[in-house]
Each structure stands twice: as structure tokens, then as C-alpha cells.
Amino acid sequence: MGKIKCIAGIVCLLAVSAQSALLVQESFNYAVTSGGLTNGTQNGGTGFSGAWQGVDAPAYVTDDPNFNITSSAFSFGSGSYGNNLSRTSAGGTESIGRGISADLDATTELWFSVLYDQSANAQFAIGGASFLAGGSGTPKFPTDTDTNTSAGFGFQHDSGGFGAVVWKDRGDRSVIGSKVALTDDIVLVVGKIEFSAAGNDKLSLFLGNTDWEIDPNAAISTAEFAVDETNLDTLSLSTNSKLGFDEIMIGTTIGDVGITVIPEPVTLGMVAVFGGGILFIRRRFMMG
């Protein structure tokens, strides 16, 4: 019987991803709104330092009328999803952001995942500030005297496609990776940020399947630049079109953000061999 437990344990190790700490999580489990987000109300989740706030010009005071919490749950695989954040009215480019209290620089690697109800004009970033509102093209971070304070990692989706972006310093100067077309309405975006002490930091983007799996060797877009990761303390979203976000997670391993690796054929073969071995051993014990 001990042999059976040992072999079964090996199979389990092949199927389970190691997990560390989930640093940030936002599922938008708030009351439904219709007139916009109310200042200070949407402040749940994990790893944040405050509530969601708008930065639409000329100034954000109480409500952002175009972003709302909606109850039209995303349809993605067999998962059960509740309320989400949506831009319910189109118009000029507007941005919202939320401060992050979790320590994102105490690691050499960060992972993030987000369900994205795609729009032809949207940006998502983990950065040093919220995007500025207004304008066109790649959104800007606030201008400051520190060229790294307003840097960030994320994605941009525009008429040219969907791709990885590293905002390398203040203003609109950025490094944009190759872009691809998104065909599904709801997509699972997975990002891997690799920090380097001596060279460029690297962002790799993946599209997860409906089982929340990715092939870590099949990035759809990458972008690189040396960024001061100690300034990453804000989650920011920007758009001028209707779109939605749900299930935002940031962690230090792929398992932290709900993702597993698509099993390779050799791994599946090993599982089959081990499974066959278990049946053989069990049969021998039963016959004995």
C-alpha cells in the first residue's frame, strides 16, 4: 500500500502548481452602480491602499459617470463570475486608478492576470501613478522630475492590435511590443514581469484558455526596458470606449494568479505510465 501512495503522490506533484502569496486581488464585488463610481466606495479586495478613483479632466471630485459596477457577469469557460467594472458609456478618454499597498518589489518576478472584455481602445498598467486622462494614442503618466516614478508595465489595445507595453519614464514615452488581433469578446490576459538587476526588465503577455492555462513558452507579445520596480504602487485603467475588467490578480508565481501550465505531451505520457503502474500494482495486491 505504501508503494501505491508514493506513486500517487508523484502524480499529484505533476498536476499541482506551487503557490506563494497572492499580493493583489480585485473581483469587483461591489453594489451595482448606474451614475458612476462614487469616491471612496469601491475599496474592497486585497493588497490596496485606497478606493478606485477617477482622473478624468478637469478634475475628479465625486463620481465618474462613465465607469460603473455592472451585474452582467462575464462568460468565460465554466467559471462563475459576479459583478465587474465596465465603461458603460463611450466618449473621451478617461482613466481610473487605485493605490497598491502590497510590496511588489520584494521579488525578481511578478505575475498578473485579468479577465478583459475587450475594446478597441484600452490600456492596463501596474505603475507608479494613474494614467492622465484625455489625449489620444498611448496614455501618459504624470510628468515629474523622476524619470522612473511614473513607469509601468501592462498592455495596450488599439486599432493596431493588442500588445505588451513598458512605460519607461514620465510622459508618453514607452516601449511597445508586437501586436496581435483579439478574436474573442472575453479574454484572459496573463502577464509575467521579470526584474533584472543588471539589464532590462521584461514583460511577457499570454492569453489563457478557458481552463485558465497557458503555455509559458508561447508569449504573444513582449516589451523590455530597465524600470525602477520600487515605484510600482498603482493599478491604472484607461479607455474611451465601452469595455470591462474582472478578476484582477497579482502575485509572485504563476499559481498565485490562478493559472496553471498546459501539460506537455511528455508529462501526460508520464502520468499515463504512472497511472498504469498504479492499476497494475493494485491488481497484484488484489490477486494476492
Is pLDDT at 3 greater than 70 in this prediction? no
Least confident of 9-18, 33-42, 100-109, 226-235: 9-18
CATH class of the domain defined by 18-258: mainly beta
Query: DSSP label at 281?
Result: H
Q: Which residue has the cell 508514493?
A: 6
Look at strands 213-214 and 260-261 and give their pairing.
parallel
Q: What is the pLDDT of residues 117-168, one digit of tens each?
A: 987 688 899 988 877 765 555 566 655 544 455 678 999 998 889 999 998 7
Higher pLDDT, 270 or 111: 111
**Domain range annotation of the chain:** 1-15+265-288, 18-258
96 beta partners: 54, 237
pLDDT tens digits along 23-53: 999 999 999 998 888 777 899 999 999 899 8
Give the pLDDT confidence of 6-19 residue by residue, as tens digits. 333 433 333 444 44
Q: What is the dihedral of CA 282, 284, 287, 288, to 10 degrees?
A: -110
Model confidence, pTM: 0.81
| Alpha-helical regions (H) of the chain | 2-15, 265-287
Amino acid sitting at position 192: K
Q: Are strands 201-208 and 221-225 parallel, antiparallel or unpaired?
A: antiparallel
CB 4 within 8 A of CB 16: no
236-252 average pLDDT score: 91
- What is the chain's percent helix, strand, coil content, to nearest 5? 15, 35, 50
Q: What is the largest CA-CA distance in the chain?
A: 82
Q: Which three cell numbers stand for residue 231?
A: 515605484
CA distances from 123 to 104, 136, 140, 201, 220 (A): 20, 12, 11, 20, 17
What share of the chain in percent tops pLDDT 70?
72
CB-based contacts of 85, cutoff 8 Å, min separation 6: 28, 52, 67, 68, 69, 70, 237, 244, 245, 246
CA atoms within 13 A on the CB side of 31: 7
Grid coordinates of 143: 510628468
Q: What is the pLDDT of residue 202?
A: 95
For 169-204, the pLDDT digits (tens) are 655 567 889 999 999 999 999 999 999 988 899 999
Cell of 221: 507579445
Cα separations (Å) of 157 from 66, 76, 100, 121, 137? Answer: 19, 20, 23, 5, 10
Q: In terms of DSSP bridges, do strands 161-167 and 260-261 run parallel, antiparallel, or are they unpaired?
A: unpaired
Predicted local confidence at residue 173, as pLDDT: 61
Mean pLDDT computed over 101-122: 91
Which pLDDT value is given to residue 242? 83
